[in-house]
């Protein structure tokens, strides 16, 4: 007989380790920095204006630009897709110069 899973609590979520290797963290920082550079180049001086244009919650986009660029905080692929669509570029073009 299978054992029942216990529900995941808020404490579990807060204490669950999120280990991201340093090499990946550096890559995340480069992605966030590139997105900010492209946003400004596209004429969006504020993250709020771009977030509105791209259909992204402004707080989510702010965290992406700030937290990911500073600490390598993780983000979702769905967010990156919204960003590239908002910039009218393909993922291939976005990643062109990121190494």
3-class state of residue 90 by DSSP:
coil
The tens digit of pLDDT for each residue in 49-71 reads 999 999 999 999 999 999 998 88
Provide the whole-model pTM.
Answer: 0.75
pLDDT at 10 over 80: no
16 within domain boundaries? no
Q: Is residue 57 part of a domain?
A: yes
pLDDT at 13 over 90: no
Q: CA 42 to CA 12: how far, in whole Å? A: 41
Q: How far is CA 11 from CA 73, 75, 77, in A?
A: 20, 21, 26
CATH number, domain at 43? 1.10.260.40
Range of the domain at 53: 21-92
């Amino acid at each position: 007989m299978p054992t029942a899973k216990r529900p995941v609590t808020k404490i579990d979520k807060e204490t669950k380790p999120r280990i991201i290797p340093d090499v990946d963290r550096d890559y995340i920082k480069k992605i966030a920095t590139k997105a900010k550079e492209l946003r400004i180049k596209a004429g969006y001086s504020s993250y709020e204006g771009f977030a509105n244009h791209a259909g992204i919650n402004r707080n989510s986009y702010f965290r992406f630009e700030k937290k990911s660029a500073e600490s390598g905080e993780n983000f979702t692929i769905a967010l990156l897709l919204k960003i590239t669509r908002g910039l009218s570029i393909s993922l291939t073009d976005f990643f062109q110069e990121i190494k």
